[in-house]
Structure 1
Amino acid sequence: MKAWQTYRLRLQRKRWRLRALRKRRELGCVVDRTARLRPADILVFTTLRNEAARLPHFLAHYREMGVAHFLVVDNGSDDGGAELLAEQPDVSLWRSEASYKRARFGMDWMNWLLRRHGHGHWCLTVDPDELLVYPFCDTRPLKALTDWLDASSIRSFGAMLLDLYPKGPIGARPFAPGGDPLEIACWFDPGNYSISRNHRYGNLWIQGGPRARMFFADAPWRAPALNKIPLVKWDRRYTYVSSTHMLLPRGLNFVYDEWGGEKTSGLLLHTKFLDSFSDKAREELQRRQHYAASAEYKAYAAGLEAEPELWCRWSERYINWRQLEMLGLMSRGNWA
């Protein structure tokens, strides 16, 4: 990369860090238990709104993996989720009524909390509908992975977003609050993905899956990005640029082997498509707080009018991480 391009990225990183410093004023602390953090703790960071139904399983999933603490920004929820979180002994909670869009879709808030509390920790930045799986996750805690990454001098870990969906109409089976969403949304597309490289930031750009074929069939290049770098050994100098799709410094985005091999990677099981999805899509379309004037939610609203079924004859039922590795969707790399 040319020197002037490197310099521009350095200036951009500084700008995003200063922006996060300014946006911290929009966060009101509800309960702060970060004084209990220990140096080796793995932390989860998330921004949410009205996700009370998902929270019990979300917390249980990551606690079972060995996550020690959750740092959460609640963006104006009114479904009781904030009260539930405030009662959890391993949760620190902030609340903001400010614009999600003007906080760069919550990333300014996340960048501030990561800078303030994440320095020196392995930090996992995910949404409440994203459940991480990684090689050997059924037998090894997350700390086994982060210890190996530390020993290998690897600072970041990639995980593609894998959309899961039910068989039949999206709203046909009700999701019981606190239940396991994988009992309903348990099917996925084993193929139908396109991959390119973002030359400016060095990250992969992945699109496809059921959202591309169902909601963006006429313009698949506008489908949501599926590439994520959610797990990072954080340093206060780092910053997320666009969601968790890419970071600065640029080297953190090289979570793949450009010489043809495979680096260790995981998947984020995306459980967006439950019976609440239609109401959520309509709400977010009215709020207009998402990227590109909520173009994604406009596509959802239009597609949902026909009560679509995302399942098709090529769909695969989710079993475990080994199945996903056999399909080439994730890799153990050289982690044995």
Structure 2
Amino acid sequence: MPGAGIRTDTTTNEAGLIGASPQTLPRIGWADAYRLRWKRRRLLLRSWRSRHQLTSRNDQTHKIRRGDILAFTTLRNEITRIPWFLRHYRQLGVDHFLIVDNGSDDRSTELLLDQPDISLWQTHASYRASRYGLDWLNWLQMRHGHGHWCLMVDADELLIYAHHQTQTLQDLTAWLGQSGRRAFGALMLDLYPKGTLGAQSYDPAADPAEVLNWFDAAPYRAQRQSPLGNLWVQGGVRERMFFAKTRQRSPTLNKIPLVRWSRHYAYVNSCHSALPRRLNAAYDGPGGETPSGVLLHTKFLPEIIQKSRIEKQRRQHFHDPDQFGSYYDGIIDGPTLWTSQSVPFEGWEQLEQLGLMNAGGWRI
């Protein structure tokens, strides 16, 4: 049934998170509002300064036209995912990609340089020190995204929404604009294989969902946080497998990946939250009433074992990497994520029926 296994908390929990109706931002006082304005300004200044860390490898932004939909991403060593990533988003209607390559050495750079619709920058600066690439992308959005619908996604995230097979992002964003909406939220849904992690084979030209074709339909829980008013969604397979005893540290699954951007906007924590805070009202989570999509998360392709070994040593993906060593170890051990409760992935209609996304009136 829709919304099964999804819980929205409405009280203050042990972590001090303020629960609220998912569609309503918690009220804040003038002092918090003032601090958030200055926080946004500091983030914008920080992003502006980060431009010196980027070296242009192929700036084709002169091709960007009024009304184009832009995609922004930071990546490192994603040669396996890039072919389908580009195919997927080109089919959705992305007109131009603005990509920061963070020191790839697997020929990702060469592949990206050979594309007519990609502007590429490169940096060897610290991913963690750049707020996990967010400073770089905020700068590029500030410089090139103003007035455009902008999509911020990782290379292992594939956005889907109601009718995405036949209706492009231009269609969706036109409808969002006519509805008075400036942003579109999504649940990041982990897909995984049946069998031991790393034991599968994968063709980079193929849809990752053909290999990673299972997911956890429930449980998920959502809370509003104050003062930002951003939703916090947790649950799913990674929590079940790797954070069962430390649920508060399990991955954040809510994102606001699609925004009609202004140079005055800033993402705060990946695209989990944004400023000004009204943007965070765009997503009310699994089981919610606002239009939303799903980011199919293809993290668990066969390369995940070797990548986890590397990233554990690089220590670039967490604020306190020492707390997450067991997470990487759990993946490196090659577990089986599938259980008898796992659900085979069938498409957006199934996800809407389960309450994991919502067409929200977006009908053909």
Q: Deviations over 1:70-90 (max 9, x none)?
A: 000000000001110011000
Matched letter for residue 225 of structure 1: T
Is 1:228 matched up with 2:255?
yes
Partner of 2:275: 248
CA contact (8 A) 1:54 1:179 kept: no
Partner residue in 1 for 2:345 = 318
Match of 2:320 in 1: 293
Task: Check the 8 A contact 2:256/2:283 in 1, yes or no.
Answer: no
CA–CA separation in structure 1 for the residues paired with 2:96 and 2:322:
34
Equivalent residue number for residue 41 of structure 1: 68
C-alpha displacement of 1:170 = 1.1
Aligned to 1:158, what secondary structure does the other structure show? strand
Aligned to 1:229, the other structure's residue is in SS state: strand
1:140 paired residue among 156, 167, 170: 167
Counterpart check, 1:193 vs 2:220 = yes
* Structure-1 residue corresponding to 2:236: 209
Distance 2:147 2:283 in 1: 23
In the TM superposition, residue 305 of structure 1 has moved relative to its aligned partner by 4.9
| TM-score computed with the length of structure 2 as normaliser | 0.90
For 1:159, the equivalent position in structure 2 comes to 186
For the residues of structure 2 that align with 1:31 and 1:22, how far apart are their CA atoms?
21
Deviating 4+ runs (over 4 angstroms)? none
Q: Sort the Cα spacing of 1:125 and 1:191 in 2 relative to 1 into closer, same or farther, 3 A.
A: same
Name stretches of at least 5 consecutive residues in structure 1 with no aligned partner: none
Q: Contact (CA 8 Å) 2:231, 2:284: kept in 1 or not? A: no
State the alpha-carbon separation in 1 of the partners of residues 284 and 237 from structure 2.
27
Q: Is 177-186 or 249-258 further displaced after alignment?
A: 249-258
- Is the CA contact (8 Å cut-off) linking 1:224 and 1:296 kept in structure 2? no
Equivalence map 1:270-289=2 (5 Å): 270-289=297-316
> Which runs of 5 or more residues in structure 2 are unaligned?
1-27
Q: Tell me what 2:123 maps to.
A: 96
TM-score by length of 1: 0.97
Q: 1:144 to 1:296 in 2, by over 3 A?
A: farther
Q: What's 1:71 paired with?
A: 98
User: What are the Cα deviations for residues 198-230 of structure 1, in whole angstroms up to 9, with x where unaligned?
Assistant: 121111100111100101111111101001000
Distance of 1:257 and 1:305 partners within structure 2: 34
* Cα distance in 2 for residues equivalent to 1:198 and 1:252: 14
Report 1 or 2 for greater relative contact order, CA contacts < 8 Å, sequence distance ≥ 6.
Answer: 2
Tell me what 2:82 maps to.
Answer: 55
1:19 and 2:31 matched: no
CA distance in 1, matches of 2:201, 2:45: 44
**Which string of whole-angstrom CA distances, capped at 9 and with x for unpartnered residues, describes residues 43-62 of structure 1?**
10000000011100000000
The Cα of 1:248 is off from its aligned counterpart by 0.2
Q: Distance in 2 between matches of 1:315 and 1:132?
A: 21
User: Which residue is 1:262 aligned to?
Assistant: 289
SS in 1 for 2:66: coil
Residue 202 of structure 2 contacts residue 302 of structure 2 at CA under 8 Å; is this kept in 1? yes
